[in-house]
Amino acid sequence: MPYVTVGIENDAAIDIHYEDHGSGHPIVLIHGYPLNGNSWERQERELLANGYRVITYDRRGFGRSSQPTVGYDYDTFASDLKALIEHVDLSDVVLAGFSMGSGEVIRYLAAYGSERVRKAVLLGTIPPFVLKTDDNPEGVDGKIFEDLKAAIANDRYAFFEGFLNNFYNVDVLGGTRISDRAWQASFNVAVGSSPFATYACVDTWLTDFRADLTKVDVPVLVMHGTADRILPFESTAARLPALIADCTLVPVEDGPHNIGWTFPDEVNTALLTFLSEAK
């Protein structure tokens, strides 16, 4: 399996696992919490069929990547992404991030620029800033995140059950857009993630991306479910067209957080259209 080494903890290498398939224009797919690169399967299949080269990877702490107890911040995540892009020597690449992965995309563009990047895609986006503060009244009350951390520390397995129920809006979409077996597969991936990363990433969600967004100079497609219970649409995606110079917003009506799995036709159609546009 291919890996790129991105750091060291004590004497152990921190390795990022990635997959690289197909040919043509490259697109890097960056997964959300608490899944892994395989969670993009419904997009990867269509992208490969339409002649794109598809690179997926597992964030540190998740999937088949190393599980260190350091580096759970967006500067490090963006550095990991940069190491992968340079290792595979990608240019004219599209960066696509879901949920936590949307933060990697924005921080990478803000920190390293768009020399190697032609477009960006954000699904279930975490930018611009999810924490409610005096200068960010649209955000979410901080107590919610403290309660999440307490639930993880108390019993992360029980936490994942409730989290994934809201991740897929199972009470509404269960049995139609999300099967019991697909839900179970996500649960299995989630519980295999690093216990340390599971907890540490909650604070990472509170990163303020507002200054980063002003530096984004490539076309950006944003897709977000209007019924997202994890990252509410009005607090996140609805605000981005006013903050990104070239931003196309596609609301997915009644979509939950993971629209890539539950609404693949809508997501794939918008994604392929965006990728094919000349700009």
State which amino acid sits at residue 69. T
Known catalytic residue at 257: yes
Q: What average pLDDT does the segment 80-108 reach?
A: 98
0.95 cut: is pTM over it?
yes
Does the active-site annotation cover 224? no
Query: Cα–Cα distance between 95 and 80 in angstroms, integer?
Result: 14
Domain positions in the chain: 3-276
At the fourth CATH level, the homologous superfamily of domain 3-276 is: Alpha/Beta hydrolase fold, catalytic domain (3.40.50.1820)
75 catalytic per annotation: no
Tell me the C-alpha distance between 155 and 162, whole Å.
11
Scored b (16 or more CB within 10 A) or e, 104-127 reads bbbbbbbebebebbbbbbbbbbbb
Alpha-carbon span 72 to 194, nearest angstrom: 11
Mean pLDDT of 227-249: 97
Q: Which of 17, 31, 228, 235 is catalytic?
A: 228
Give the tens place of pLDDT for each residue, 151-165. Answer: 999 999 999 999 999
| DSSP code for 185 | H
- Of the pLDDT bands very low, low, confident and very high (cuts 50, 70, 90), residue 103 is very high
Given a cut of 90, is residue 1 above it in pLDDT? no
* Whole-angstrom distance, CA of residue 253 vs CA of residue 230: 15
| Confidence class for position 27, pLDDT limits 50, 70, 90 | very high
Comparing CA positions, the residue from 274, 144, 140, 160 lying closest to residue 218 is: 274
- pLDDT of 10-25, one tens digit each? 999 999 999 999 999 9
What the block records as the tokens of 69 is 């107890």
pLDDT at 278 over 90: no
Q: Is 246 left (phi over 0), alpha (psi -120 to 50) or beta?
A: beta
Under 8 Å between Cβ of 205 and 100: yes
Q: Report residue 279's pLDDT band, with 50, 70 and 90 as the boundaries.
A: low
Check if the beta carbon of residue 99 is closer than 8 Å to that of residue 33.
yes
Report residue 18 as tokens: 């990635």
- Encoding tokens for residue 35? 């899944």
Q: Choose the catalytic residue: 79, 99, 102, 186.
A: 99
pLDDT digits (tens, 9 = 90+) for 32-59: 999 999 999 999 999 999 999 999 999 9
